[in-house]
Amino acid sequence: MSKRSIFLLSSSRFHGFDFLEHAKEYLKDFLSRHNIKTVLFIPYAQKDHNEYTELISKTLSPWGYKVEGIHAKPNAIQAVLEAEAIFIGGGNTFALLKLLYDENLIPVIRERVLRKGVPYIGSSAGTNVATLSIHTTNDMPITYPPSFEALRLVPFNINPHYLDPNALTQHKGETRDQRINEFIDYHKLPVLGLREGTALLVEGSKATLVGDRNAKLFTSDKQQVEFTPNSDLSFLLNKD
């Protein structure tokens, strides 16, 4: 697993910034360190693949990166095998995972990222599918993948767009914390709550929280621990 290089964003959009702009310097550094010129984008989390790929291209092209949409390739598996870097964007996690299974991309992406060191970027749904499973997504199950098991690029789950409970709200339904703890009740696995504006950078056996705010870790014994920006979260990779 020492070759993996992974950047997992909570979201592509952040209040006060243009699309991906809040993560621009992190992403440029991540890609430049691996001498990436062309990014293979997987737009399966949204319905209009052309429109989504065009948005990513318009964002990354001025930064010096060419973007190619996997849906425009004659063979999706071959596209992954030839990719310099892989970027899976946000949208609906269930739709995304179903198409990854339909196209038989789960094993080939795992092999390329974990064994060959191909850089992987995930945002929102693309971050969800990088983890053990999609059980901790915030999305509705608009379609049904053959399994909730995901790419398993990291040995824990993430909840992107994590929101703290609001003591002043009049809403009396379940909080995000309660939902995550329901998952832990059944699966006994840690969940990292990534607030907006944060990301997890994984290089080999080292994991670091990046961004300008804390992340919250829900542990397998249902404790909650806050981690500040630049915290070393490598211990989460120890199950590999």
For the annotated catalytic residues, the residue numbers are: 124, 139, 161
Dihedral sign for Cα 200, 154, 157, 31, please.
positive
CA 218 – CA 199 distance, rounded (Å):
16
Which of 109, 56, 55 has the alpha carbon at shortest distance from 78?
109
192 DSSP 8-state letter: E
| In the block, residue with structure tokens 């299974």 | 101
Tell me if residue 102 falls in helix, strand or coil: helix
> How far is residue 42's CA from residue 23's CA, in Å, rounded to a whole number?
19
Spatial separation of the C-alpha atoms in residues 144 and 162, rounded to whole Å: 24
- Alpha helical stretches, state H, 118-207: 125-128, 176-187
